[in-house]
Structure 1
Amino acid sequence: MTLTTLAVSDPRRERLAALGRRAAIRLAGGVLVLWAVATLTFFALRLMPGDPVLAILGGTTGNPSPEAIEAARQEFGLDKPLPVQYVLYLGRLLHGDLGMSYSQHLPVTRVLAEQGGATLELTVAALVLAWLLVLLLTVITAGRGRLIGGAASLLETLSAALPHFWLGVVLLAVFAFGLRWFPPAGSDSLASLVLPAFSLAIPLAGFIAQVTRESLELTLDQPFVLTARTRGLSDLAVRFRHALRHALLPGVALSGWAIGALISGAVVCEVIFSRKGIGRQLYQAVQLQDLPLVIGISLVVAAGYVLANILVDLLYQWIDPRQQEAAA
């Protein structure tokens, strides 16, 4: 048998090659998505009422002179036709230039670098916390009888229906102002992360747990689970070592969507809990008509969403190799 034959017949190498091809296709699609987001955001903001030049010069209360307004239009290229502005804007994006923030008079990349870490911290904490709640609830209660399963399912449904802003206000009232266990605002300590992370994680955990529970209950009825039980394994060992890997697939598939939901929910949570982050910056930038900052944040959020979906898709393929065989 030649080395060429060994290379071709190596399942691990074939699997990695299939994952690489899929990642390349998804990345190409992600570039198109980013271009569409950049284009739609650019034209949507240009069609908003109001003059962005006034935002550059300090708003309507600044009372700028006509000469200052005209100078600002020329400096930022707003005196050119809209198609020309769009082409120049795409050219700057290709060079990694997101422009200057009108309201903060700082490069957009610097604002994103300073604020993005807090949003990433909140998003990751909420996602990890949501999955811990999902595993705790589903593994313990799935397949335990109609009464326990019905109660757990009701709890999941109620959790999934909770709005982020309402839950955030309730958590503030109870645990910050009432019990005084956690600070009501800020983003400089681990304690200040707990309440906003829970306000994002609880609704997400309820949604993911609904599909994970159904999948786990179906998996527990499969023959390979019965075989594992006959080998003398404990119930928890069977659930964690054999059934859980197959039951997690629907939840893993939803995790890519969950990243987008968490980032959008972070806008509300960062305002309620007075946290640093790009969500709060986006809220303020829209109010101030800070076009470069709004576009920059939109692109970063879209890029994070695309990257998360690519990673989740590859993880799904890796967990369940049958998906690669079906794609082939």
Structure 2
Amino acid sequence: MSTSSLDSLSAAPRTTATVGSAGSVILRRVAGSVFVLWAAVTLTFFVLRLTPGDPVTAILGGAGSSPSPETVAAVRAEYGLDQPVLVQYFSYLGNLVTGDFGVSYIFKVPVVEIIGPQILPTLQLAGLAMVFAWAIALAFTLLTVGRGRVLDGVGRAVEVFSASLPQFWVGIMLAVVFAVILGWFPVAGNDGFKSLVLPALSLAIPLAGFIAQVTRSSFDDALAQPFVLSARARGLSDTAVRITHALRHAILPGLTLSAWAVGSLVSSAVVAEIIFARPGLGRSLVDAIVNRDLPITLAVVFITAAVYILVNLAVDLLYRVVDPRTNPKGSAA
């Protein structure tokens, strides 16, 4: 990302959706959120329907089963698969509005009963990964930016290296070093906070490199701004100037990236969930795709899109707090 791009990010409000009265912002965001959810579900529904293979085969036990034509016809009628695709689509949307995700083809129970217990572990993993990513990124930014050419060069190199690391490789290395060799953390499972640390770090370390690269440029620019020079002239310490003045300016581009990153963390959590044998939406999605369990696949896509939308709403609200230019009252002041 170029310096000019970062300057434009920090010099203007995040989006037009963040500008205006609170009521108008909420209405625009709600309308956009409904559209995104509809688009995600619609695209996934038709892509899955166009995928080669018959869902009835999955319902009846896989390719090895040899059901009679009567059984196949009965199953099609039971699940509504004998209807035209458009009829199935509108029926699914109608059920979705009422919170009905359907019945799993494989487990023969409501989808909510299967994925419900998987939501919290994935959100915990993604949330802690985001906290770790920001902590690492801000630490490198505060400790290396404006500290001389050597530290600045080291910080840039570490950020690029971190951003280029594959999540699965980071997870394996963390498990080998800190779980197998040192024994500080459990190798796998979902038993308390300690079992969450290594999976979260495996997702956080590459993300921290991206966030640090974005915040570095804006933080460096902030250090040269008049309000920082004025703070130094008033006798504030370098640490106080960095944290209370420059950092607020520098985190705005990072907040924009975070809105995308949380959605990405939820969808990529499958990497950590598989390596560390954790429950979660990612593993449920992979299993559902392999087994052609369409209701579970659609439900996970819907939940992932909903999480992404909620995070974007939260970031927009946070922008109005951090950056007064997005608030008419703040701008007027």
User: What's the TM-score once normalised by structure 1's chain length?
Assistant: 0.91
**Aligned pairs, how many?**
314
Question: Is residue 271 of structure 2 the alignment partner of residue 282 of structure 1?
Answer: no
Match of 1:76 in 2: 79
Is 2:60 the counterpart of 1:63?
no
Does the CA contact (< 8 Å) of 1:139 and 1:239 recur in 2?
Answer: yes
In the aligned structure 2, how far is the partner of 1:184 from the partner of 1:64? 43
- Report how far residue 313 of structure 1 moved: 1.8
1:312 maps to 315
Alignment match of 1:252 (pick from 248, 251, 255)? 255
Identity, % of aligned positions: 54
CA distance in 2, matches of 1:279, 1:192: 17
**For residues 85-142 of structure 1, what are the alpha-carbon distances to aligned partners after superposition, in whole Å with 9 as ceiling and x for unaligned?**
1111111112111101112222112222211000000010000111111121111211
Tell which deviates more after alignment, 120-129 or 21-30. Answer: 21-30
Between the aligned partners of 1:233 and 1:295, the Cα distance in structure 2 is 54
Asked whether the equivalents of residues 267 and 280 of structure 1 are also in contact (C-alpha less than 8 Å), the reply is: yes
Alignment root-mean-square deviation, CA: 1.9
Change (3 A) 1:327 1:238: closer
Tell me if the contact between 1:267 and 1:279 (Cα under 8 Å) persists in the aligned partners: yes
Please list, as runs of the form range in 1=range in 2, the aligned pairs for 1:96-111 lying within 5 A after superposition: 96-111=99-114
C-alpha contact 2:20 2:326 (8 A) present in aligned 1: no
Distance 1:26 1:35 in 2: 14
For residues 70-149 of structure 1, the aligned pairs below 5 Å read: 70-149=73-152
| Ranges of 4+ aligned residues in structure 1 off by more than 4 Å | 325-328
SS of residue paired to 1:61: coil
Aligned counterpart for 2:193 among listed residues 179, 186, 190:
190
Partner of 1:271: 274
Letter in 2 for 1:259: V
Secondary structure, counterpart of 2:235 in structure 1: coil
Alignment of 1:13-92 (within 5 A): 18-92=21-95
Residue identity in the other structure for 1:123: A
Q: Is the 8 A contact 2:19 2:25 kept in 1?
A: no
Query: Residue 14 of structure 2 aligns with which residue?
Result: none
Partners of 1:113 and 1:253 in 2: how far apart? 29
The AA in structure 2 aligned to 1:147 is V
Cα deviations by residue, 1:246-300 (Å, 9 ceiling, x for unpaired): 1111111111011122112202211121110001100000000000000000001
Q: Is the 8 A contact 1:212 1:251 kept in 2?
A: yes
Q: Distance in 2 between matches of 1:178 and 1:122?
A: 23
What SS does the aligned partner of 1:45 have? Answer: helix
- Scaled by the length of structure 2, the TM-score of the pair is 0.90
1:152-231 aligned at under 5 Å gives the runs 152-231=155-234
Kindly indicate whether residue 300 of structure 2 is the aligned counterpart of residue 300 of structure 1.
no
Structure 1 portions without partners, runs of 5+ = 1-14
Q: How many angstroms does 1:194 deviate by?
A: 1.0
Paired residue secondary structure (1:60) = coil
Task: Tell me, in whole angstroms, the C-alpha distance in 2 between the residues paired with 1:178 and 1:62.
Answer: 46
